[in-house]
């Protein structure tokens, strides 16, 4: 069933066994060319053990891989699934049109690459009611099926990869800067103006910044663990992290003092390695002490090799071998993107880097 108008459908979305004493929940999911993952992601929503009323709103971008037909079939057999159009295909625009079409006071932000455990909504709503937070979220647990994906998953969950933030590796329950995905009080979302549609990546962090500035609490709980499926190829991984870094650089420029120091590590590393190679090359050409510049990239290579040993121990030898490529791909794609974004080149490049 398609609802391009974005208007709330009749209240047929609530299952017969819904408990009217619990707040209703609207799952909002932006989707663009996700035929491989979206069915499993939606199935994890329908399988939740939360007994309150709910609906699933899929904001469908202009997909060309069969996603449109797939979600159309799913919505035709289950009235709790509504499909609305997201002409731009961007994540923040999709989230906004889905939220506008939602009817319930609790909004659960979902990703087409994520699989929610059965107790996710129940645990999140309990935390939301207990803390009166504006947003509650938890941990993104990356899991891969191939050796390459397992290497990427290990990078997500390690300090060597993405810095070891609580929403990647876990931590103590309490107020946080940001969380993965998010379970929101709809009233708080409307109060701060929803997602910023001009920010293609990092929109969760930016929204959580505004929620905190408005007096709301962003609450982290390690009880919420979401399975995430990594990108399946090196090309797609590089594009993902280049785009993410690009927008993180944009956010660092716009809100410089609000950014933690960890966000500046990859661009500094990229600059140091490139400068070290350049200085070392000059040293080779001139036969001078400038060859010591090669020490910097050498130290980085040792760092990657040591990290790959850890990946091999936890994920297997093939994944460890892939990690030797995956980790530099993540660091350099993200770091280069950050530098370009920080230098105000975002608008010129995003059209070629996906959502």
CATH of the domain at 26: 3.90.550.10
pLDDT band of 279, cuts 50, 70, 90 = very high
H helices within 38-182, ranges in order?
38-46, 67-77, 91-101, 120-131, 147-156, 159-162, 166-169
Q: Does residue 288 lie within any of the structural domains?
A: yes
pTM (global) more than 0.85: no
pLDDT higher than threshold 90 for residue 57 = yes
Helix (H) / strand (E) containing 237 = helix 234-254
**pLDDT tens column, 323-346:** 999 999 999 999 999 999 888 865
Q: Does residue 6 lie within any of the structural domains?
A: no
DSSP state of 196: -
304 closest CA partner among 280, 323, 332: 323
Q: What local confidence, expressed as pLDDT, does residue 167 receive? A: 58
C-alpha–C-alpha distance, residues 23 and 46, integer Å: 17
Angle between helices 317-342 and 147-156 (to 10 degrees): 50
Based on the structure, what is the number of domains in the chain? 2
Provide φ and ψ at 174, rounded to 5°.
155, -175
Domain-terminating residue out of 230, 264, 284: 230
**pLDDT tens column, 182-231:** 999 999 999 999 999 888 878 888 999 999 999 999 999 999 988 888 88
Whether residues 302 and 187 share a domain: the answer is: no
DSSP state of 115: E
C-alpha–C-alpha distance, residues 147 and 168, integer Å: 20
Whether residues 33 and 93 share a domain: the answer is: yes
Domain span at residue 257 reads: 253-352
Q: What local confidence, expressed as pLDDT, does residue 1 receive? A: 30
Q: What local confidence, expressed as pLDDT, does residue 216 receive? A: 96
Q: What local confidence, expressed as pLDDT, does residue 66 receive? A: 85
């Amino acid at each position: 069933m398609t609802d391009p108008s974005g208007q709330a459908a009749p209240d047929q979305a609530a299952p017969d066994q819904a408990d009217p004493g619990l707040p209703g929940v609207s799952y909002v999911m932006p989707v663009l060319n996700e035929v491989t993952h979206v069915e499993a992601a939606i199935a994890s929503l329908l399988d939740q053990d939360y007994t309150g009323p709910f609906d699933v709103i899929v904001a469908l971008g202009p997909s060309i891989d069969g996603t449109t037909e797939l979600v159309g079939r799913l919505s035709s057999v289950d009235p709790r699934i509504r499909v609305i159009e997201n002409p731009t295909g961007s994540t923040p625009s999709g989230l906004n049109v889905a939220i506008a079409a939602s009817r319930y006071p609790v909004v659960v932000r979902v990703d087409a690459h994520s699989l929610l455990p059965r107790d996710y909504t129940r645990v999140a709503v309990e935390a939301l009611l207990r803390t009166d937070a504006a947003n509650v979220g938890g941990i993104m647990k990356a899991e891969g099926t191939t050796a390459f994906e397992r290497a990427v998953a290990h990078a997500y969950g390690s300090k060597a990869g993405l810095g070891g933030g609580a929403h990647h590796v876990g931590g103590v329950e309490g107020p946080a800067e940001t969380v993965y995905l998010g379970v929101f009080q709809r009233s708080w979302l409307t109060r701060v103006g929803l997602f910023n549609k001009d920010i293609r990546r990092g929109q969760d962090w930016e929204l959580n910044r505004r929620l905190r500035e408005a007096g709301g609490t962003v609450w982290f709980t390690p009880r919420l663990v979401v399975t995430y499926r990594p990108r399946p190829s090196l090309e797609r991984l590089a594009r993902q992290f280049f785009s993410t870094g690009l927008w993180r650089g944009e956010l660092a420029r716009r809100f410089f003092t609000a950014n933690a120091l960890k966000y500046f590590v990859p661009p500094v590393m990229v600059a140091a390695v490139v400068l070290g190679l350049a200085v070392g090359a000059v040293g080779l050409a001139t036969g001078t002490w400038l060859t010591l510049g090669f020490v910097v990239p050498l130290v980085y290579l040792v760092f990657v090799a040591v990290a790959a040993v850890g990946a091999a121990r936890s994920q297997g030898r093939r994944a460890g071998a892939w990690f030797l490529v995956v980790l530099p791909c993540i660091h350099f794609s993200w770091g280069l993107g950050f530098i370009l974004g920080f230098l105000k080149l975002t608008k010129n490049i995003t059209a070629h880097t996906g959502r």
